[in-house]
Chain A
Amino acid sequence: MSDWRVLLVEDNPDDEALTIRAFAKNDIHDKIVVARDGAEAVDYLRAIDSGETPPPALILLDLKLPKVGGLDVLHQIRAGQRTRLIPVVVLTTSVEPEDVLAGYDGGANAYVRKPVSFSDFVAAVRTIVTFWLSLVERPPAATAPALPGGQPAAHS
C-alpha cells in the first residue's frame, strides 16, 4: 500500500506546517493533502464520492474550523458512500468532555489532543500512522463501490 495519502483538514497554517513537519520527522513525505477549511474538505469529499479522487487512507480532522465546522465535515464523511469507512482521527486542541463526546458520537475513530511539545507531536503522529496504516486491518475496498474504470487513479 505505497500509494496512500492522508487528508489533513486544518485551517491554521502553522499547524499545517507543523503537521507536515511531524510527518517528515517520521520519514513520511508528500503524502498529505490539506483541506484548509471545512468547505474545502467537503469539496474534496464530494470529489472522492464522485470517483474523481481516490479516497485517503486516513483523515486527520481538526474540529474548530471556519465556514463548515469539523463535526459537519465528520458527518459528511460518514454519509458518503466512498468515504464512510475511512478512519478519522480527530486532531484538535480541546479535551472538553463535550467535544470529545461529540467527536465520537459523530463517528470519529479516535480523538487526539494536539500536544504543545513538538517532540510529543512527532511521537503522536508516529503512533497514529503506525496504528492506522500498518497495524489495523483496514475495511476492504469492496465495501465501497468500485471506481469507474477499475483501479483508483494513481497519484504521486
Chain B
Amino acid sequence: MVCVAADGRITMVNAQAERLFGYQREELEGQLVEVLVPGAAHSVHPQYRTTYMADPKPRPMGGGMQLSVCRRDGSIFPADISLAAIDTEEGILMTAAVRDVTSRQQAQEELERANRELESFAYSVSHDLRAPLRTLAGFSAALLDECADELGEAGRGYAGRIQSASEQMAKLIDDLLRLARMSKAEVNLQPVDLGAEVASIAAELQRDRPDRSVLFTIQQPVWVLADRSLIRTALQNLMENAWKFTSGRDDASIDFAAAPVTQQARVRCYVRDNGAGFDPAYVDKLFRPFQRLHSAREFPGTGVGLASVRQVVERHGGRVWAEGVVGGGATFYLTLQPADAL
C-alpha cells in the first residue's frame, strides 16, 4: 500500500510495500511516486496522476493495461494496482494497493506456450501421422491387387484388415483434429432454423442410401441463435448417429422437435430414434471422446462424434444430454438460446 498526496509525493507506505519495492520507509516518504514507475512511463505518469485526482473514484489503474512497477534495484515486475482516495485533514490522499502478479503472468505465458505446442502437435499429427498411414493403406491395397493368388484367402483377409485399420485411423485423426479446431473456432451467433438444417441433413442421408426406408418427422421452423456451421456439425453428428443406429430396423423413424423452456429463455430440442439405443448405465460415458457403447462390428465409428456435439453445444452456452434403453432407441437433447433473444 502506497499513499500519495495531491502533489505526487509519497506520504506513507506499509511494511508490505517496503518488501515489495525493496526500500526502507524513510527512503520513500517525501519522494515523488514516479520513483516507483519504470522509466518508460516516467514522463506520462504525472499527467495520469493529475487526471485521477480530478475525479478520484476507486478503480483499477491502467484501464486493463498490463502495468509494471520498479524496485529499488531497478528491476521491474508486473503488478495490479487499485486506486482509491481518502479525504484527510491535509487534503485528498491517493492510495494505491499494489499486487505483484509475476506468477500469474508466468502462468499465463505458460498456458499460451502450452496452447502453441498443442497446436503444432495437432499440426504434425495431421501431417506426419498420415504419411505412414497412406503407406499402410496403399501397399496393403497393392498386395490385394497384385499378389492376391499368392496370399491365399487368409493372407487376403490380413491385408484387408491392415487396409481398413489404416483408413479407420485416418478418420480418427481427422475427427480429433476437427474436435481440436472446434474448441478454438469463433462462435458467430445468428438466427438459424434448426428444423431446416435437420431436414437438409436428412435429405442428404437418404440420397446416399436410397435403399433405406426411414420415417423422418421434422419440426420446422425451429429458430435459435447459433453459429450456423458449428451447430450444423453437431446436428450432422446426431442425425448420422440416429441413421446409423436405426440401420437394423425396417420401421426406422427419426424425429426432430423443439419446445421452449419457459423459465430459462431456452429452446430444448431433441433428435429421437427408435434404433439400437444404449444402456443407460453408461450414459455418462457417451459424450467423452473415444468412448463407444457399441462394438465396431455392430456399428462402426470413431467415438468422437458425440464429444464434438457436446463441445459445440457448450460453446453456445447450452447443455446436452441423452436418454436411451437397449433396443428401445435413444433421444439426444440440447438446449440453445431462442432466436428472439437477440
Binding site for B on A (CB under 8 A): 12, 14-15, 17-18, 21, 64, 93-96, 114-119, 121
Contact = CB atoms under 8 A, between A and B. Distances in A.
Nearest to A98: B123
A118 B141 contact: yes
Interface of B: 123, 126-128, 130-131, 133-135, 137-139, 141-142, 163, 166-167, 170
Chain A interface SS verdict (over half): loop
B134 A116 contact: yes
A93 B127 contact: yes
8 cross-chain pairs, A with B, having the tightest CB-CB distances, nearest first: A116-B170, A118-B141, A14-B135, A18-B138, A118-B138, A93-B130, A93-B127, A94-B127
Contacts of B128: 93
Contact of A21 (B127, B131, B138, B163): B138
Given A21-B142, A117-B167, A15 B134 contact: yes
A156 B119 CA distance: 46
Contact of A118 (B126, B127, B137): B137
29 contacts: A12-B131, A14-B131, A14-B134, A14-B138, A14-B139, A15-B131, A15-B134, A17-B138, A18-B135, A18-B139, A21-B138, A21-B142, A93-B128, A93-B131, A94-B126, A94-B127, A95-B126, A96-B123, A96-B126, A114-B134, A115-B134, A116-B134, A116-B166, A116-B170, A117-B167, A117-B170, A118-B142, A118-B163, A121-B134
A96 B119 CA distance: 11
B133 A116 contact: yes
Chain B interface SS verdict (over half): helix
Nearest to A64: B127
B178 to A, nearest CB: 11
B221 to A, nearest CB: 32
A117 B137 contact: yes
Contacts of A12: 131
A67 B131 CA distance: 19
Given A14-B135, A116-B166, 20 more contacts: A15-B134, A15-B135, A17-B138, A18-B138, A18-B139, A21-B138, A21-B142, A93-B126, A94-B123, A94-B127, A95-B126, A114-B134, A116-B130, A116-B133, A116-B137, A116-B167, A116-B170, A118-B137, A119-B141, A121-B138
B139, B141, B163, B166 pick with most chain A CB within 10 angstroms: B141
Contacts of B137: 116-118
A111 B272 CA distance: 39
Nearest to A122: B141
A4 B167 CA distance: 33
A14, A18, A115, A118 pick with most chain B CB within 10 angstroms: A118
Contacts of A114: 130, 134
Contacts of B163: 118
Contacts of A64: 127
Contacts of B166: 116
Contacts of A121: 134, 138
B228 to A, nearest CB: 18
Contacts of B126: 93-96
Given A116-B167, A117-B167, A18 B127 contact: no
A117 B166 CA distance: 8
A121 B130 CA distance: 13
Nearest to A119: B141
A95 B178 CA distance: 11
B307 to A, nearest CB: 21
B136 to A, nearest CB: 8
Contacts of A94: 123, 126-127
Nearest to B170: A116
B42 to A, nearest CB: 41
Contacts of B141: 118-119
A121 B163 CA distance: 14
A64 to B, nearest CB: 7
A21, A93, A95, A116 pick with most chain B CB within 10 angstroms: A116
A76 to B, nearest CB: 23
A85 B163 CA distance: 38
A64 B131 CA distance: 11
A69 B139 CA distance: 27
Contacts of B139: 14, 18
Nearest to B128: A93
Contacts of B170: 116-117
A119 to B, nearest CB: 7
